[in-house]
Amino acid sequence: MKPVRVMIVDDSATVRQVLSGVLAEAAGIEVMAVASDPLFALDKMQRDWPDVLLIDVEMPRMDGITFLKKIMAMRPTPVVVCSTLTEAGTATAMEALSAGAVSIVTKPRMGLRQFLLDSGEDIVGAVRAAAHARVRRPAPLPAVLPAAQSAPPTVAPRLSAEAIPDVPLQALRETTEKVVALGASTGGTQALEAVLTALPQVCPGIVVVQHMPEKFTAAFAARLDSVCQVEVREAHSGDRVLPGLVLIAPGGRHMQLVRSGAQYQVTVLDGPPVNRHRPSVDVLFRSVARCAGANALGVLMTGMGDDGARGLKAMRDAGALALAQDEASCVVYGMPKEAVKLDAVDRSVPLAAIASEIVRSGARR
């Protein structure tokens, strides 16, 4: 198997050196070139194009966001942004994701060398995920959002959803309100926007887990709210699941569906990472299976790994309609593929059909 060929573009010689060393030690990855700024990188890329780009944002002669947009216009390529700007505020991170970056790695301003060494597994994982991504020219998105703090990634042990206590209530046999649960990871920021912007104002209540670091989700929800007919906001414990409302699990915390009488609410809770993610799709989906049963629709979307596959199986076993995004429209066909392998899926559907499936689920009685 050919190695994943990576180009590192960063004006810091220290970063280039340390990242080169970290990636060189990883099986199946080759650092084919480094560059101190985007113009040097573009010159090298004309002769030898990389499989994955690992870039900074603050660079001389051309900033990383402009470079990213230029690459996506010329020849869409998987890009991982590794920047200190995401520590100061997530506006830049959201702009990078909107411009087509596959993922973000946040660098601290202090102790950079040690951080890069300690976070080698995260960086290698981000590069490997990017190498599997199907990158397309992103649709234009509106404007920059207010800044918020972001946390650097951490390596977590792999735990299953059993690490988080089950919600206590069983599903009502039938309710007038339906619940839609969406789960996504790599490529999900753009995929969720495509789905949510296509929804009418009147649609079932939606709960979402998108794998994101702490504090990113507030900015992500605000961006979506600015372009959608439905209301989108970051979830808080006690929020009721209502028609026309989308609740996004906050980064760094799990979200579960609970029932108060005949009404659905969410609870946001701490706990260990599940499948190395917090929030975890499995945690949300398992709670939806127990509380909503056949009154729910579950959709597992683009993403690396298998988080959500077992939770979707629990939803289907409880009577919910279980859908997976199809391979052709996924950036990374990982999580949906694992769900299909588990026989957790009623149908696989293209990204463009998910909004109509959500609307249709609200009309079912």
Give the CATH number for residue 288: 3.40.50.180
Among residues 150, 306, 307, 348, the one annotated as catalytic is: 307
Report if residue 93 sits inside a domain: yes
Question: Is residue 343 annotated as part of the catalytic site, yes or no?
Answer: no
Where does the pLDDT of residue 145 fall: very low under 50, low under 70, confident under 90, or very high at 90 and above?
A: very low
CATH code of the domain in which 64 resides? 3.40.50.2300
Question: Is residue 132 annotated as part of the catalytic site, yes or no?
Answer: no
**Are residue 125 and residue 217 in the same domain, yes or no?**
no
* More confident: 341 or 163: 341
Torsion of CA 280, 282, 283, 287, to 10 degrees: 150
Q: What is the mean pLDDT of residues 330-346?
A: 95
* Phi and psi torsions of 302, nearest 5°: -50, 140
**Are residue 38 and residue 85 in the same domain, yes or no?**
yes
Among residues 56, 98, 122, 211, the one annotated as catalytic is: 211
- pLDDT over 90 at 298, yes or no: yes
Range of the domain at 353: 162-363
**Are residue 269 and residue 352 in the same domain, yes or no?**
yes
Report if residue 68 sits inside a domain: yes
- pLDDT over 60 at 148, yes or no: no
- pLDDT over 80 at 154, yes or no: no
- pLDDT over 90 at 364, yes or no: no
**Are residue 118 and residue 170 in the same domain, yes or no?**
no
> What pLDDT is attached to residue 176?
54
**Are residue 193 and residue 124 in the same domain, yes or no?**
no
Report if residue 32 sits inside a domain: yes
Question: Is residue 51 annotated as part of the catalytic site, yes or no?
Answer: no
Where does the pLDDT of residue 116 fall: very low under 50, low under 70, confident under 90, or very high at 90 and above?
A: confident
Q: What is the mean pLDDT of residues 68-82?
A: 92
Among residues 98, 103, 185, 280, the one annotated as catalytic is: 185
> What pLDDT is attached to residue 297?
97
Report if residue 152 sits inside a domain: no
Total tally of structural domains belonging to the chain: 2
Q: What is the mean pLDDT of residues 171-183?
A: 74
- pLDDT over 90 at 129, yes or no: no
> What pLDDT is attached to residue 170?
53
**Are residue 87 and residue 167 in the same domain, yes or no?**
no
**Are residue 181 and residue 291 in the same domain, yes or no?**
yes
Q: What is the mean pLDDT of the chain?
A: 86
- pLDDT over 60 at 158, yes or no: no
pTM assigned to the model: 0.79
Q: What is the mean pLDDT of residues 185-197?
A: 93
Q: What is the mean pLDDT of residues 86-94?
A: 65
Torsion of CA 316, 272, 213, 243, to 10 degrees: 40
**Are residue 123 and residue 27 in the same domain, yes or no?**
yes
